[in-house]
A and B are shown apart, each in its own frame.
Chain A
């Protein structure tokens, strides 16, 4: 009995010790967690022998939890979208990065260097995705094609982030993200063509797969996922460019494992890991030395040269973080309701 109790005691102190040895990564659930587990985490564990634990949740949930746990963070690494990253930065939740500890970041594209606190992890575009079997002869070569009257009641866009269409309308009206008001009337003219506004990735996929909304302002990765599932979707990049989105990676301020966290980020920028991310999720690598399969490299929304990055519509993440509430409110008041 005494031995049993001693063994139990040893186990009780051993388990937390093991848990402490793990690097904790905060990320969205589902395929995003799997993406990092199968690529970066695998490489990191091979190199360091340290396992990776994940805590998952929505963008806002994780931001709130990080804010509540300030200086004693639950995670060592956080993945989020670049503009939300600025909210973390503004609240002092991210560690200032020492780039000398991330040698693989030497080939990081300029568009993925957001701030001294957060860097890009992979990229995608929000662009036009459509069902050619349901839209017949309608073609899409420019964002202006969304205004085609034949698309009345056929379009869906995300309800959580109207920034793509607001900036596109501004650009088509001679403005830009900062002077977005120039596109207000243009976007109001698109109202009859909207059928629905999707809540999340799953909702977007369901609306496209069922044909309820055969045309979408869609996340390129989602469209490729559905194509893989056999849904006949065409992804096209309009001549003005797709709206670039780059997710970010950071080390949490107060992390006790910053050395391991740097090794994790360095593993993320390994060319092989970036190529694996592009292959698994059909997203774009953020380093220019990733060797991609030709079939992946030719996909719209996957960029292999600095010039391709520059051709996209880029909304400054900091400006986006500041403007999003205003854009969101305007969109809800004038387009959705």
Chain B
């Protein structure tokens, strides 16, 4: 038991609810792990004996492709969310006009007030062959045939960027607000233009926020379900969709559990790799 809890016993009452939650999560995780090594009995809800066949079945190229697609979609989503989110976060922190600040805040936060399914259905209306984008482009004569956004990785990434953006902007804004503006002023007083001052001072100093935002966006997207399910229309599948398709829709809970465990392991590996890759960058930042 930590020393601080011994000296201040009231802290135990704070720790207890968290410990209870942690116990619940661990129990659920143990159940998933247990199911992943049990055999499936067709026509029965009860799993059979212990086996590693579920993991052996995952060795097929199909599953490797879905795992790779998932990582690729997560990477693209994290990257484009950063590209779109950074200017918004920058404007949110630096704009002085209160109305403009409120407007940006509303743009950023509004998606959080809509459920993922509602947001995704909105994107179906925008991205469909008869949707907003194609209708405008067709009427302007820019295209002769509708562009296929729906049921493509591109369409899925667009919708996922929208879902992930609020989290990214909030993290970047927090990092940017901690940067002392005098650093940028000092660079400008030494002759650096606004772009150079941004590239050599603000951007490197906001690196901790970028790393936190990208890592969170990546992990957040990894568990996406409704968006790839509806925009992907069964043609673009991520791991969670595969869990649903192969596990729950056919009541093969052991196989679904083995997919979950493998997905979790892959997430941990990738996040560890990201952590290793960005370790040198973490040293940059406000001191």
Contacts and interface: CB of A to CB of B under 8 A. Distances in A.
Nearest to A325: B250
A211 B230 CA distance: 15
A337 interface: yes
A164 to B, nearest CB: 14
B130 A90 contact: no
10 contacts: A63-B251, A67-B45, A196-B233, A206-B124, A328-B245, A329-B246, A329-B252, A332-B62, A332-B246, A337-B65
Interface string B151-163: 1000000000000
Contacts of A326: 42
Contact of A210 (B124, B151, B237): B124
Shortest Cβ-Cβ A-B pairs, 8 listed? A197-B234, A196-B233, A328-B250, A325-B250, A322-B43, A159-B234, A160-B249, A325-B252
Nearest to B128: A210
A199 B229 contact: yes
B62 A159 contact: no
A52 interface: no
B62 A337 contact: yes
Interface string A184-203: 00000000000111110001
Given A195-B233, A336-B234, A87 B251 contact: yes
A198 B233 contact: yes
Interface in B147-189: 150-151
A321 interface: yes
B228 to A, nearest CB: 11
Contacts of B60: 333
A210 B135 CA distance: 13
Contacts of B131: 210
A86 interface: yes
B235 to A, nearest CB: 6
A210 B246 CA distance: 28
A86 B43 contact: yes
Contacts of B40: 325
B241 to A, nearest CB: 9
Interface in B28-57: 40, 42-46
Interface residues of B, number: 33
A326 B250 CA distance: 8
A298 interface: no
A336 B249 CA distance: 14
Given A87-B251, A159-B249, A325-B250, A196 B42 contact: no
A231 to B, nearest CB: 13
A90 B237 contact: no
Interface size class of A (residues with CB under 8 A): 35 or more
Main secondary structure of the interface of A (DSSP, over half): helix
A207 B249 CA distance: 21
Interface of B: 40, 42-46, 60, 62, 65-66, 121, 124, 128-131, 150-151, 229-230, 233-235, 237, 242, 245-246, 248-252, 255
B90 to A, nearest CB: 37
A119 to B, nearest CB: 20
Contact of A60 (B42, B65, B121, B251): B251
A107 interface: no
B45 A337 contact: no
Contacts of B242: 332
Contacts of B245: 159, 328, 332, 336
Interface in A140-170: 156, 159-161
Contacts of B46: 91
Contacts of B128: 210, 212
B234 A325 contact: no
A180 to B, nearest CB: 14
A156 B151 CA distance: 12
Contacts of B43: 86-87, 90, 318, 321-322
A163 to B, nearest CB: 10
Contacts of A318: 43
A326 B121 CA distance: 31
Nearest to B45: A91
Nearest to B121: A206
A171 interface: no
A153 to B, nearest CB: 9
B250 A60 contact: no
A328 B252 CA distance: 10
B251 A197 contact: no
Contacts of B45: 63, 67, 87, 90-91
Interface string A311-337: 000000010011111111100110011
Contacts of A91: 44-46
Interface in A15-74: 60, 63, 67
Contacts of A336: 234-235, 237, 245
